[in-house]
Amino acid sequence: MDEFKRLDRELICKGSIIDYYKDTVLVPNGNIVKWDFIGHKGAAAIVPVTAQGKIVMVRQYRNALDRYTWEIPAGGLDSPEEPTFDAAKRELGEETGYTTQNIELLISIRTAVAFCNEKIDIYVAFDLEKGEQDLDEDEFIHVREFALDELTEMIFDGRIEDNKTISAILAYKAKYKM
């Protein structure tokens, strides 16, 4: 079997969300290469489903794209040890105002396996109860319900590009709406 061996991992920049490293790796042919690595503490997301079968989505500004996006509610873990279930439930309440006791794991994804270790556990929530949003001071989030077919159309016509949202919506559709 071809062996890869990390010889060194140098922290280049410590960020508030990610840490950027330069890895030195011995590859199978004996060469030593430098690879970028982004360290991430993990995240959780949730597909909120109303009693009418609609999906609750959040619209927020994303600096990396310099525009607004429609996404499922999500957020980073407060620490690498935080259970993703707790984070998903927290983000549901904070971003949408909804609460529930009926949450189950839908799918886990890795966002960019070539250079980042971020893992997002995505849950689905039923039996929603409406409450009030509890947004962070830098969050400006609009909430709207969509039919599953409308979201699927938005994925395939390019209006939804966020990978966690695409994965979540298509996984939900495959699992619950056969």
In this structure, the answer to whether residues 63 and 113 fall within a common structural domain is yes
In this structure, the answer to whether residues 32 and 106 fall within a common structural domain is no
Give the global pTM: 0.93
Domains of the chain: total: 2
pLDDT in tens, 53-64: 999 999 999 999
Cα–Cα distance measured from residue 60 to residue 58, given in angstroms and rounded to the nearest whole number = 6
Taking the CA atoms of the chain, what radius of gyration do you get in angstroms?
18
Query: What pLDDT, on the 0 to 100 scale, is given for residue 1?
Result: 61
User: For residues 37 and 112, is the Cβ–Cβ distance under 8 A?
Assistant: no
| Residue burial 117-146, b: 16+ Cβ < 10 Å; e: rest | ebbbbbbbbbebeeeeeeeeeeeebeeeeb
Q: Containing domain of residue 14, as a range?
A: 5-39
In this structure, the answer to whether residues 12 and 76 fall within a common structural domain is no
Mean pLDDT in residue range 20-40: 97
Q: Spot the catalytic one: 95, 137, 145, 153.
A: 137
In this structure, the answer to whether residues 10 and 56 fall within a common structural domain is no
Whether 153 sits among the annotated catalytic residues: the reply is no
In this structure, the answer to whether residues 19 and 80 fall within a common structural domain is no
pLDDT in tens, 144-173: 999 999 999 999 999 999 999 999 999 999
How many percent of the chain have pLDDT more than 90?
90
* Identity at 173, one-letter amino acid code: K
Inform me whether the pLDDT recorded for 178 exceeds 70. no
Inform me whether the pLDDT recorded for 133 exceeds 60. yes
